[in-house]
Amino acid sequence: MKKANIYTGTGDCGSTSLGSGTRVPKDHPRVEAYGTLDELNAHLGLLAASLDNAQTIGFITEIENSVFTIGCHLAAENNNVAPVDGLDIEKLEKEIDAISASLPPLRSFILPANSEQAARANVCRTICRRAERAMVTLNRECEVSHNAMVYINRLSDYLFVLQRQLQGGEEKIWQKPCK
Q: What pLDDT is recorded for position 162?
A: 96
Residues of the chain above pLDDT 90, percent: 60
Mean per-residue pLDDT for 60-84? 89
Q: What pLDDT is recorded for position 109?
A: 80
Mean per-residue pLDDT for 36-60? 97
Mean per-residue pLDDT for 63-87? 89
On the CB side of 74, CA atoms within 13 Å amount to 32
Above 90 in pLDDT, residue 20? Answer: no
The second-level CATH assignment, the architecture, of 24-103+111-169 is Up-down Bundle (1.20)
Distance, in Å, from the CA atom of 7 to the CA atom of 14, rounded to the nearest integer, reads 14
**HEC letters along 80-135:** CCCCCCHHHHHHHHHHHHHHHHCCCCCCCCEECCCCHHHHHHHHHHHHHHHHHHHH
Above 70 in pLDDT, residue 16? Answer: no
Higher pLDDT, 79 or 134: 134
pTM: 0.88
Q: What pLDDT is recorded for position 12?
A: 53
**Local confidence band at 80 (pLDDT 50, 70, 90 cut-offs):** confident
Every domain of the chain and the residues it spans:
24-103+111-169
What's the mean pLDDT when you consider all of the chain? Answer: 87
Higher pLDDT, 15 or 99: 99
Above 80 in pLDDT, residue 77? Answer: no
Q: What pLDDT is recorded for position 115?
A: 87
Above 70 in pLDDT, residue 39? Answer: yes
**Local confidence band at 172 (pLDDT 50, 70, 90 cut-offs):** confident
Evaluate whether 39 touches 127 at the Cβ level (below 8 Å). Answer: yes
